[in-house]
Amino acid sequence: MRRHFLLLLLTGSLAGSAAAAAAVEDKSVYLARCRTETLAQYPGVKAQVDSICSSKWDMIVETGAMAEALLALAPSDGAAFDPGGARAQATSVKWGRKRNGHIASGKLGDIAVGVTRKPVPGVAFSWFKEGTPIPFDLEGALKVRGVALSLIGCLSFGAGEGSRVYRASVAGKAPFALTIAAREAALASQSSDYSATADFSGKAPTLATLKRDGNDWAARCPT
């Protein structure tokens, strides 16, 4: 479990370096970049860096379907998001009955998917499982697909729990706000939770607006 806490920490702290436009990466390119970035930030993990980056690549692969569905739903440059067209746009999702006020609801494996029109137009992905480490790295999965993520704010409750808000941009798509929240189970009797919510309204929050909820949002994630 300690090893997975380190992977979660690396996921948040290294994702902030994705502000520049990224090229689409395959496994070999990703592993080389991961090794360079990880050692630059954590020189003491030299003996473990190859194993760490290999594990992170496995998480990226596991998150591929979520990343593809998210990008399929993201509106094109100059276009507004159409919640009613979600079923046709994200064909990998097994759509079912509408739930919890969603315009469309479905499943992507064991990930719940919900499309909203209000309070903001967008899509939410959510997953939880008892006693299981979080298998996802959406930041990494988006970055290897050419998405640039600019960190707006980070909220941390310790090594295993926190939220991160980004401005996401990729060629051909309108920029959107992305919130990723994760809570890692510390005990087998507890559940791990992971969610990703995309706001397609075109209005990204600022650090100042995030702080209005009274929590200790910061411009950088802990290292």
Q: Please report the pLDDT score of residue 209 as a whole number.
A: 97
Average pLDDT over residues 25-33: 95
Whole-number Å distance between alpha carbons of 68 and 109: 13
pTM: predicted TM-score of the whole model, two decimal places: 0.87
Give the model confidence (pLDDT) of 49-108 as tens digits: 999 999 999 999 999 999 999 999 999 999 999 999 999 999 999 999 888 889 999 999
Helix ranges (H only) for 42-197 are: 49-62, 64-73, 86-89, 138-143
Q: Please report the pLDDT score of residue 17 as a whole number.
A: 42
Give the model confidence (pLDDT) of 69-78 as tens digits: 999 999 999 9
Q: Please report the pLDDT score of residue 4 as a whole number.
A: 47
Instruction: List Cα–Cα distances, 111 to 16, 75, 92, 161, in angstroms.
Output: 25, 22, 12, 19
Q: Which helix (H) or strand (E) holds 57?
A: helix 49-62
Rg (CA), the chain: 17
CA 125, 205, 157 angle in degrees (round to 5)? 65
Q: Please report the pLDDT score of residue 220 as a whole number.
A: 94
Query: Band of the pLDDT at 14, cuts 50, 70, 90?
Result: low
Query: Band of the pLDDT at 23, cuts 50, 70, 90?
Result: low
